[in-house]
Amino acid sequence: MSCLHTINRSPGSNLLKSCLSVINAGDAILFIEDGVYYCSQELNLKGIIETVKIYGLREDMLARASLSKSTERVETIDMTRFVELCCEHDKIVSWF
Amino acid sequence: MTDNANTARPAKSIITFISRGAPYGNNRANLCLDMALASAVFEQEVNYVFLDDGVYQLLKGQDGAAIGGKTLGSALETLALYGIDSVFADQQSLQERGIDGTDLLPSMQLIDSDAVAKLIEKSDTVFNL
């Protein structure tokens, strides 16, 4: 039973910390809206275990000029893939 | 005396705006900018400071169209058009977010937190949004 966690606030919000304290191996994290700022520094993603996939929404990165700064661990996706991810996971937990 | 009071121009005060919100996620950044532009129209002395997540507004290459909105970066360029030249970015906020000078929109003066404290001290009014 895997879960997709979405985070929509900047690193200053500490949402990732809350999310990581309850995450399971095999879950995925998707950064959207202001959450995409997490993707521009490796340091921000510290503590995410290897078995957790990390995604970032391309549209939001483009708007915020943070696509080019996105780190390698983050797979950038479009809206269509976002919908697919919602279907592929059993549950979605929104951190906001 | 009353005549004088009626004809006198409003006193000029120093207003400092501290913009602390990232663009697009909510409208705080836009609201702060609007307040500053309105103040400038009424010939107040305006300082504009980008602090904390506010420095994300300064990234070059933003494209609001990607999410169906307006690009805030280009709105910031109107600060100069309205005669607001005292525009500052907090160095520590930039550093914490891994943003260096080459990522920034032009004509930004970098200052440290002591300088921000002094700006606040010199101001008559401070808006912190």
Confidence (pLDDT) at A17: 95
**pLDDT of B5-30, one tens digit each?**
556 666 889 999 999 999 999 999 99
Residue A34 near residue A9 (C-beta atoms within 8 A):
yes
- What structural domains and CATH numbers belong to chain B? 13-128 (3.40.1260.10)
Judging contacts by C-beta atoms under 8 Å, the chain A residues touching residue B55 are: none
> Which position has the token pair 């420095």?
B55
Rounded-to-integer distance, Cα A21 and Cα B68, Å: 34
B84-128: pLDDT as tens digits: 999 999 999 999 999 988 888 877 899 999 999 999 999 999 999
Query: In chain A, whose CA is at the least distance from the CA of B95?
Result: A41
B15: closest CA of chain A, how far (Å) = 27
Looking at CA atoms only, how far is residue B61 from chain A in angstroms?
5
Query: Measured between CB atoms, does A66 come within 8 Å of chain B?
Result: yes
- Residue B43: CB partners within 8 Å, gap ≥ 6? B12
CA distance A68 to A77: 14
Indicate whether B1 pLDDT > 60: no
Residues B24/A64, Cβ–Cβ less than 8 Å? yes
pLDDT value, residue B9: 66
Assess whether pLDDT exceeds 90 at residue B4.
no
Q: What count of other Cβ atoms lies within 10 Å of the Cβ of residue B4? A: 7
- Other CB atoms within a 10 A radius of the CB of residue B76 amount to 22
pLDDT tens for chain A, 96 residues: list them.
Answer: 799 999 999 999 999 999 999 999 999 999 999 999 999 999 999 999 999 999 999 999 999 999 988 899 999 999 999 999 999 999 999 999
Contact B66 A41 (CB under 8 A): no
- For A3-95, CATH gives 3.40.1260.10
B76 has a chain A CB within 8 A of its CB:
no
Q: Which residues contact B117 (CB under 8 A, 6 or more apart)?
A: none
> What is this structure's pTM?
0.88
**What are the chain B neighbours of A58 within 8 Å (beta carbons)?**
66
| pLDDT single digits (tens) B39-72 | 999 999 999 999 999 999 999 999 999 999 999 8
pLDDT value, residue B3: 52
CA distance B7 to B11: 12
